[in-house]
Amino acid sequence: MSLNLLGTVDEAVRAILARGRPAPLVGLVLGSGWGEFADSVENAAAIPYPEIPGFPSPAVPGHAGRLILGQIDHTPVAVLQGRFHFYEGHDLTTTTLPVRVLARLGVQKLILTAATGGIRSDLQPGDFLCISDHLNLMGANPLRGPHCEELGARFPDMSQVYSPHLRKMALQAAERLGLIMSEGVYAALPGPSYETPAEIRMLRTLGADVVGMSTVPEAIVARQMGLEVLGLALVSNAAAGVTDQPIDHAEVLAAGNAAAGRMNGLLNLIVKNMMTRSAISEL
């Protein structure tokens, strides 16, 4: 990490602010299957990633590659419709750049979403999981390298990466909507191959409930920059060895399409209440 990163972040911020939209207070990163939520944004202005300095174009189906600026129930939001991944060949400094940009734009609370494989036996495709903690098994950390104090502490605390307050709010929102949601631990592996049954047994032993290939580096960077983080996972498939069925990305996207209405309702309700001090008591 270096001053060059700070310069890239601030150049991206200037390009976004030049669009003349209000500074966002809530940011969302939409993972595989979650992208339809971007259609819920009111007074929306879309910026393709290639028009933002430092942002490459995603190359994975289900990731549109646009920053959406607008409002959800009068709350200014910035929605990253798709992400770029470590497994695409980007380093973690690049994959987490959008989170740094959101923080410098003024975002206070960040919702990270992802499609995941279910490890825990009670998790079924279509269930939601509120991330309570994570295992970073990607073999790298996005904070590695030269340090820039303006982007956060050198050694940020990670004892509560995922806000207990926001988790409580999300669980109550899901209950209000009649959705199945539990809490659990997200294990991040580098991908792009899916895990072997032996690896899933290892992850279960380590305490993981779901597994994916993103989210964790973004959460680490968000906490370094002082953002309050909520992580939401859709269980799109059973992890390898949990059933005897093979896994493919089409299955992941199909699960997202099937759950789109429920995902949109959940995110809308969470954002609606997120900036209200009495949000939990009102749910």
Please list the active-site residues: 32, 63, 85, 87-88, 115, 213-214, 237, 249
Other C-beta atoms lying within 10 Å of the C-beta of residue 206: 12
The owner of tokens 């990270």 is: 112
Gap between the Cα atoms of 93 and 106, Å rounded: 20
Gap between the Cα atoms of 185 and 34, Å rounded: 20
Q: Which residues of 92-118 are buried (b: 16+ CB within 10 A; e: fewer)?
A: bbbbbbbbbbbbbbebebbbbbbbbbb
Q: Which residues of 149-185 are buried (b: 16+ CB within 10 A; e: fewer)?
A: eebbeeeeeeeebbbeebbebbbbbbeeeebebbebb
Q: Which residues pair with 29 in a beta bridge?
A: 80, 112
